[in-house]
Structure 1
Amino acid sequence: MAFLRLYLFLTVLLFSFFISSQLPQICRLLRRTDDLPVLVSEGDIMIGALFPLHDTILESPPSFTTEPHPTQCSGFNFRTFRWMQTLIFAIEEINRDKQLLGNLTLGYKIYDSCSTHFHALRTALTLMNGNEEIAGISECRGGVPVVIGDGGSTLSIVVAQFLGVFHVPQISYFSSCACLSNKLDFPAFLRTIPSDFFQVDALVQLVQHFGWSWIGTFAGDDAYGRGGAQIFNEKVTKLGACIAFYEIIPKNHQQTEMSRIVERILESRSHVILVFALEQDARALFLEVLHHNLTGIQWLASEAWITAAILSTPEFHSVLQGSLGYAIRRADIPGLQPFLLRLHPSKYPQDPFVEQFWEEMFKCSLGIINRSSSIRPPCDGSEVLVNINNIYSDVSQLRISYNVYKAVYAIAHALDLMLHCEPGKGPFAGGLCPNFSSMHPWQLLDYLKHVHFTNDFGEDTKFDINGDPVAMYDLINWQLSGKQEMQYVTVGKYDETMKPKLVIEEKNIIWSGNQKQVPLSVCSTSCPPGTRQATRPNFPICCFDCIVCAADALECVKCSPEFWSNTRRDTCIPKVVEFLSYNDTMGITLLSVALLGSCFTLAVTLIFALKRHTPLVRANNSEISFLILSSLLLCFLCALAFIGRPTTWSCGLRHTAFGIAFSLCLSCVLGKTLVVLMAFKASLPGSNVMRWFGPLQQRGIIFMCTAVQVVICCTWLCVAPPIPHMLMTHETARIILLCDVGSSFAFSLVLGYIGLLAAVCFLLAFFARKLPDNFNEAKFITFSMLIFCAVWIAFVPAYISSPGKYTVAVEIFAILASSYGLLLCIFTPKCYIILLKPEKNTKRYVMSKSNS
């Protein structure tokens, strides 16, 4: 109904504006607004401002026969009065600064919104209309081009919905509701306080950091409290934590309802509770907590009350000591405290708020209007603000006041940009610049959206696309000093522009009950070994019972993939990591065979080097023979890369080194086979084929055939290289370390190319095996290729079917077997003649035809 009445009121108002614009008569206000106290200071540019200087209004029942009595506000707030004085201070500071705005001056028109929707809307309407007295008649006049305020989110929502219709920019210093970032509903709203979306994100990170999973939530009955608490509940639930309860603090603070919601704390057994509410609502809650004598609760605070002086009094020390929450960034504004202490009723007789301030500060009556319910003594004139220790003059925690200060400077810088606009380079159509004499609010709004400056405190001030500033918070911890005074100690920072966003000095935190240990807040503690979790019906997942495990119950202890249950099944133990190592029998055996093959290859190389001038070595192309021996040595040594714990470099080296080494060896064998085959054809009359297979051509064949494999392996390493892989399953007690080939296609291509070279070598050698030479090398190459192909054909099914480290062993066996086949078949007959039959190592014997 309230929103319906508001809608009807606005409809009538807009209709009246329309009718008035069509009639050729002077605009007159239907009702005078001189019952609204206002503080005015004239200037070239007027700034409207709304501050909730009172906590509520005194309503009188309407008679519907006479005009309602003027609205009276009650509950003067010294904190918000300081905010108002900070605005005046900033405006006067800017007016003294001739570098900003030049000779233009700022004025202000300040109203009290009295912390109520209706009053906030009424003052906003007055700011928009403007009025002046002409011959006793209130005439309409142009409204202010910009408004600073209001305080609470609920108040700003009402004001922003109205101002947004006319695109009048509104900058709030204390309205943090995330809903106000919606530019469709609030197109002209900006603020210097971060959105609650960022505060909630910081609170959720805090909960996650300390591992709390059972959290209670209190919210104020307004847009700020409900909106912030709702986002917090949703986000923290997604992280796996549970909300113990969610209660709304009623605005009327009814005793029975307050008692009921506090009793929820006892029922829930939650030790960490978030209070997302304004300071007035939080105070009502904590008074009830004191009444129930509840202690030992770790309170999490929203920025609205974490630095509230009315809660840091000795009355609440036993309850709130150790509280933790985020506060917006503070600053020390030079000259502000003397400015605050300048006030006196005699100096500012036209200021309607100074009188109320003075009476409430000194609990006396100026004799003008007695606003207190009880009779107060008259003020005697000896009252001095310097002698009073009050939140008004306390400038140690200038946070909201700093936001007011930034809001005023944002307007001044936007106006300064507008003032220095160059014709043809303006932000509007055709490069037009605004005219100050006929400036429209939407023009100032455009400049405000793009304002960006660095103030005297080194902080950048700008607004994002939603009209929000950069989110920066101090993590505040309430700690008692030696004098039993509450101190706001900064124990961390949250900055959305940094990584990590949240930094906590955990060692400096004093928790509730003056403890140094982080409090525990869980619905159910972890189940001991030998038991399992059983969910409770109608309870969140964080609440469970621990039931003794039945024999062989697999679901009792769920170990992670790296662990395995012990024989008693009451704890998880690390799994055995398995790979082909140098310590087990299989690894030692394969290592020995590989090293033995390397020694045999070196021995053959030494024999060939010593007998390199003999006819047998020279007749078989000693250069290619030495190249084959070198490649065989690499084949034996590359098997060593397959043994040991897989690493990134060993996995990449294994298959590529093996592929290139075998390709080099087979390329040499191919070259040697071609030479044998072509040598026979060259012996035929009229043949000159050998000129195409000289030493240079043979080197070219070897290089080209090897280069193809090198390109394949390099591409493999660049695109999808082999990497270490842990093969884990819940069914086995072992972790198998393997090298994942990365690309199965590349691995198949490497093996396929080796197979192609071996097949070509075998075919050529097979055709030349019966050539009539006394020492025909082709038949030995044929035998070596038969062994090679047989080994690798058998390798494929054995590799696929072998489990664990035996897969690696099969691959090493294939490498060693094929290498031994090549070494023995090609070089053993030659070594036999060189060492045991030297009479056959003659030119005549080698060059003679075979008797067969």
Structure 2
Amino acid sequence: MHEPQRAIILSLFVLYLNTVLGCELLGRFNMPSLFKQGDIMIGGIFPVFNKDITFRWTQVMIFAIEEVNNDPAVLPNISLGYRILNSCSSPTNTLRAALTLASRPEEIDLTSPCPPAISALIAEAGSSQSLAVAGTLGPFQVPVVSYFSTCACLSDRAKYPTFFRTIPSDYFQAKALAALVKHFGWQWIGAIQSDNDYGRNGILAFTEEVKKLGVCVAFVGTVLRTYSKDKILDVIKKSTVRVILAFVPEGDFYPLMKEVVKQNITGIQWIASEAWITAIQPSTPEIYQAFGGALGFVVQKMAIPNLKPFLTGISPYTDPSAAFVRDFWEIMVGCRPVSKGELTATEAMNKICTGNETLMDNQDVFFNVRELRVSYNVYKAVYAIAHALHQLASYGLEKIKVTDQLQKVNFRNQFGDSVFFDVNGDPPASYDIINWQLIDGQVQHVTLGHFSSDANGNYRLSIQEEEIVWRTGKMVPTSVCSNVCPAGTRKAQIKGKPSCCFDCITCADGTIANSTGIRSMYFIFSKYAITIVSLLGASLTLATMMVFLHYRETPVIKASNSELSCFLLFSLFLCFLCPLTFLGRPTVWTCMLRHTAFGVTFALCISCVLGKTIVVITAFKATIPGNKVAEKFGPAQQRIIVCFCTLIQIVICVLWLTLKPPFPDMVFKYSNKKIILECNTGSEAAFYAVLGYIGILAIICLVLAFLGRKLPDNFNEAKFITFSMLIFCAVWITFIPAYVSSPGKFTVAVEIFAILSSAIGLLLSIFAPKCFIILIKPEKNTKKHFDLIVKCLPPLIGKRINPHLMQPNWNRLST
């Protein structure tokens, strides 16, 4: 069992005993603290390191609490107190601090009744430490607000129901880092993680995001301040990556940074997590030699008014018992503050303060409050808790109610920022993009962009690229495993390596690689010519339909049966669009759509032609005495023929798709050098049944049209239909042997050619003559001209028939 897990179990046991047996003190950790009694106590856990910026975090918490106490609008007549402990960045120490805060304060008189220890806790900087605290205090409904723990795992409300934070989750930082990688086109990157919850979860979220963008992670190295650096340094040296992301806290990464500089590993563009991009310790000209130009994201900065006077007013003489202050003073001032009677032999050897020293004119970075980031998160955490307590001031301040009210907190602070938490206890995501630049011999953290995310998951990334200082100069560095394949070659995946690593091999004859070099290859003809011809044919069909609708009251249109003509034009329009389903990479849906759409649309087309043929013949036969069968073929019967003939084809296609549908297939039999992706028909019998049925309809049309070929020209569509059916049958008769003998991709080309040529043949043979009369020879588009032709009918057909009996049935023709 790991030490943090053992400590958690121990802490739960202690709290259980404290609850069951009453307020009985079982033991106490000897932990120094910053303490002030108040009506309501707020706990704080910080990793305090003497002169480190982390000590400033404790002072910001105290400053914010004092502001709240002096503000009559928040918690009037109620004072906030605090107790702040040191975690030393250790999960174990953090647990000790949490247990200490959960028990009765040492400063409280032992004879007094058990007071509530803390109403809320502000903790911690490290994600591992926050996991320990949230797991320990969560079951007891103590709200925990973190100011610097970013692990996405802490957003799990089932495990950590009372955890909140004022810094965005790594879930959003991972999206921001992935957006940055995508923006600059980096395809081959390395990653370094710390061996803790922060690093492992951060890199996991990042790799998931970049994989969606087609980016490959070459390696993931693991570091910790106590680990050997040799292994990870060896990986960096041998790798071909030129961009590395370091998702590591400052304390764990700084030792590695010094080794990178020492071994002169340069030429790498570093991407930083928010944990070290603005850290003071590594921001030196020495480290800049290898890490200059680093890019990373940090939370927004803010300047807090009146904070600097508060910080410069820190004094060990104000409260001699205050923890951490003496060590801080000794480092800042350079002397040891000693009260009267405390002087020892050891103290005598050190420089003793006179009592007149001050921090007012100190220029240390500690007192630079113009760009506060984590400190601002601490400030917001205090005010969030204060607003939650303010809403509950009249309800007894029970801890469970504090947690519930903290979830509902939503206010705008004095800086105009909205402070609230989503359902997972996270604040809205907003980051600044930081670039390391050397200005006047000092490393500066220059803000050159912004990243923000909304509630719908959409993000906006803005970068001032021209202002970025790169490790390689002013040029954006490139990081790829393999260069883009040149013209005439295509990608070939290397076995055992990521998708970003590939070889470039020469394209097969008659093919080209597409612009991205992806594996699929297409005919130049299929990509451009087929699309143009299909769309042109569809456009001509629509134009013809417009002409027919506009001139629908003229004799030519009436004699052509306008209803069936429009059905035929609609089916031809669909026929011209069928070849578009043959383009691109075969999929399950396109394979099923190709042949069935072609079969149904052509069956509808030939059915309309068959109906028109029967109408033309029966229109004249109806005027022959004694012919009653022809008189019964009206509009309803025409529609029945078209629907019935098409329905048979639909049934065939449904059976085909149900029993043995077409599917995409990879074929090796045509060449041992390449794989052909094609649509397997599934059932050859079904495919030829579809073709055979269309052929039967076409032959019937051809026979009937041939019988009516001697009717008058102005009424007669039969000879045009005969010609169109001859073209149609010739195309599809030659198609079958060509289809069977064509290998692979040529099979598709043959089928597309057959579809387009037969559709064009039908369109031109049937409709071109009529459009010629309507648009070019309008004088022939009159009823008088038609009557004149009818008078010449007997000599044309070689029979002696009364001309009055041969007047066409105009009502039937117009249907």
TM-score normalised to the size of structure 1?
0.67
My pick for the range that moved more, 79-88 or 372-381, is 372-381
Residue type of the partner of 2:87? S
Cα 1:752–1:542, aligned 2, differ >3 Å: closer, same or farther? closer
Using the TM superposition, give the Cα deviation of residue 411 of structure 1 relative to its aligned residue in structure 2, in angstroms: 1.6
CA distance in 2, matches of 1:635, 1:176: 66
Match of 1:715 in 2: none
My pick for the range that moved more, 217-226 or 496-505, is 496-505
Cα 1:46–1:678, aligned 2, differ >3 Å: closer, same or farther? same
Match of 1:518 in 2: 476
Is the 8 Å Cα contact of residues 150 and 173 (structure 1) preserved in structure 2? yes
Give 3-state SS (helix, strand or coil) of 2:437's partner.
strand
Give 3-state SS (helix, strand or coil) of 1:520's partner.
coil
Give 3-state SS (helix, strand or coil) of 1:387's partner.
coil
CA distance in 1, matches of 2:91, 2:529: 77
Residue type of the partner of 2:84? I
> Structure 2 stretches of 5 or more lacking a match?
582-597, 648-665, 677-685, 740-749, 773-782, 808-815
Is the 8 Å Cα contact of residues 698 and 729 (structure 2) preserved in structure 1? no
Using the TM superposition, give the Cα deviation of residue 276 of structure 1 relative to its aligned residue in structure 2, in angstroms: 2.1
Are 1:36 and 2:36 matched, yes or no?
Answer: no
Match of 1:486 in 2: 444
Using the TM superposition, give the Cα deviation of residue 367 of structure 1 relative to its aligned residue in structure 2, in angstroms: 1.6
Cα distance per residue 1:203-238 (max 9 Å; x no partner): 234334434454443333433234434554566567
Are 1:408 and 2:403 matched, yes or no?
Answer: no
CA distance in 1, matches of 2:44, 2:329: 21
My pick for the range that moved more, 231-240 or 120-129, is 231-240
Match of 1:46 in 2: 41
CA distance in 2, matches of 1:532, 1:325: 35
CA distance in 2, matches of 1:321, 1:115: 27
Residue type of the partner of 1:812? I
Cα distance per residue 1:448-483 (max 9 Å; x no partner): 233333334444333333322233222211112256
Match of 1:81 in 2: 55
CA distance in 2, matches of 1:668, 1:214: 65
Give 3-state SS (helix, strand or coil) of 1:304's partner.
coil
Are 1:210 and 2:188 matched, yes or no?
Answer: no
Using the TM superposition, give the Cα deviation of residue 763 of structure 1 relative to its aligned residue in structure 2, in angstroms: 8.2
Match of 2:661 in 1: none
Structure-to-structure mapping, 1:317-466, within 5 angstroms: 317-349=288-320, 351-368=322-339, 376-419=350-393, 435-436=395-396, 439-466=397-424
CA distance in 2, matches of 1:293, 1:373: 43
Alignment match of 1:250 (pick from 209, 225, 235): 225
Using the TM superposition, give the Cα deviation of residue 365 of structure 1 relative to its aligned residue in structure 2, in angstroms: 1.0
CA distance in 2, matches of 1:149, 1:244: 33
Structure-to-structure mapping, 1:187-266, within 5 angstroms: 187-232=161-206, 239=214, 241-244=216-219, 246-251=221-226, 257-258=228-229, 261-266=232-237
Cα distance per residue 1:223-263 (max 9 Å; x no partner): 32344345545665674524345132333x7xxx3355434
Bigger Rg over Cα: 1
Structure-to-structure mapping, 1:274-673, within 5 angstroms: 274-349=245-320, 351-368=322-339, 376-419=350-393, 435-436=395-396, 439-482=397-440, 484-495=442-453, 497=455, 499-513=458-472, 515-522=473-480, 540-541=497-498, 556-557=505-506, 563=512, 575-577=523-525
Are 1:13 and 2:9 matched, yes or no?
Answer: no
Is the 8 Å Cα contact of residues 636 and 819 (structure 1) preserved in structure 2? no
Residue type of the partner of 2:406? L
CA distance in 2, matches of 1:307, 1:636: 70
My pick for the range that moved more, 656-665 or 388-397, is 656-665
Using the TM superposition, give the Cα deviation of residue 362 of structure 1 relative to its aligned residue in structure 2, in angstroms: 1.5
Cα 1:180–1:675, aligned 2, differ >3 Å: closer, same or farther? closer
CA distance in 1, matches of 2:618, 2:794: 29
CA distance in 2, matches of 1:540, 1:579: 32
Are 1:126 and 2:122 matched, yes or no?
Answer: no
Residue type of the partner of 2:434? I
Using the TM superposition, give the Cα deviation of residue 321 of structure 1 relative to its aligned residue in structure 2, in angstroms: 1.5
Are 1:181 and 2:189 matched, yes or no?
Answer: no
CA distance in 1, matches of 2:138, 2:469: 45
Match of 1:158 in 2: 132
Is the 8 Å Cα contact of residues 244 and 270 (structure 1) preserved in structure 2? no
Cα 1:579–1:643, aligned 2, differ >3 Å: closer, same or farther? farther
Is the 8 Å Cα contact of residues 213 and 522 (structure 1) preserved in structure 2? yes
Cα 1:141–1:202, aligned 2, differ >3 Å: closer, same or farther? same
Residue type of the partner of 1:40? F
Is the 8 Å Cα contact of residues 225 and 251 (structure 2) preserved in structure 1? no
CA distance in 1, matches of 2:763, 2:20: 98
Cα 1:777–1:307, aligned 2, differ >3 Å: closer, same or farther? closer
Residue type of the partner of 2:470? W
CA distance in 1, matches of 2:487, 2:732: 46
Residue type of the partner of 1:357? F
Is the 8 Å Cα contact of residues 214 and 244 (structure 1) preserved in structure 2? no
Is the 8 Å Cα contact of residues 790 and 803 (structure 2) preserved in structure 1? no
My pick for the range that moved more, 239-248 or 324-333, is 239-248
Cα distance per residue 1:630-678 (max 9 Å; x no partner): 9989989998999999999xxxxx9999999999998777667656555
Q: How many residues align?
A: 722
> Structure 1 stretches of 5 or more lacking a match?
22-26, 55-75, 421-434, 547-554, 566-570, 610-621, 649-653, 712-727, 736-744
Cα 1:296–1:19, aligned 2, differ >3 Å: closer, same or farther? same
Residue type of the partner of 2:90? T
Residue type of the partner of 2:420? K
CA distance in 1, matches of 2:502, 2:695: 63
Cα 1:492–1:324, aligned 2, differ >3 Å: closer, same or farther? same
Are 1:107 and 2:81 matched, yes or no?
Answer: yes
Using the TM superposition, give the Cα deviation of residue 86 of structure 1 relative to its aligned residue in structure 2, in angstroms: 1.9
Give 3-state SS (helix, strand or coil) of 1:217's partner.
strand
Is the 8 Å Cα contact of residues 580 and 808 (structure 1) preserved in structure 2? no
Using the TM superposition, give the Cα deviation of residue 327 of structure 1 relative to its aligned residue in structure 2, in angstroms: 1.0
Residue type of the partner of 2:757? A
Cα 1:632–1:227, aligned 2, differ >3 Å: closer, same or farther? closer
Is the 8 Å Cα contact of residues 298 and 511 (structure 1) preserved in structure 2? yes
Cα 1:32–1:6, aligned 2, differ >3 Å: closer, same or farther? closer
Give 3-state SS (helix, strand or coil) of 1:310's partner.
coil
Cα 1:682–1:456, aligned 2, differ >3 Å: closer, same or farther? farther
Is the 8 Å Cα contact of residues 795 and 810 (structure 1) preserved in structure 2? yes
CA distance in 2, matches of 1:482, 1:384: 29
Alignment match of 1:809 (pick from 757, 772, 793): 757
**Percent identical across equivalent pairs?**
32
Give 3-state SS (helix, strand or coil) of 1:332's partner.
coil
Is the 8 Å Cα contact of residues 791 and 817 (structure 1) preserved in structure 2? no
Is the 8 Å Cα contact of residues 41 and 83 (structure 2) preserved in structure 1? yes
Cα 1:784–1:200, aligned 2, differ >3 Å: closer, same or farther? closer
Cα 1:413–1:628, aligned 2, differ >3 Å: closer, same or farther? same
CA distance in 1, matches of 2:481, 2:601: 58
Cα distance per residue 1:18-71 (max 9 Å; x no partner): 5623xxxxx4424456x53333334332211111113xxxxxxxxxxxxxxxxx
Cα distance per residue 1:288-321 (max 9 Å; x no partner): 2232233333222111111112222333232322
Give 3-state SS (helix, strand or coil) of 1:200's partner.
helix
Match of 2:651 in 1: none
Is the 8 Å Cα contact of residues 320 and 512 (structure 1) preserved in structure 2? yes
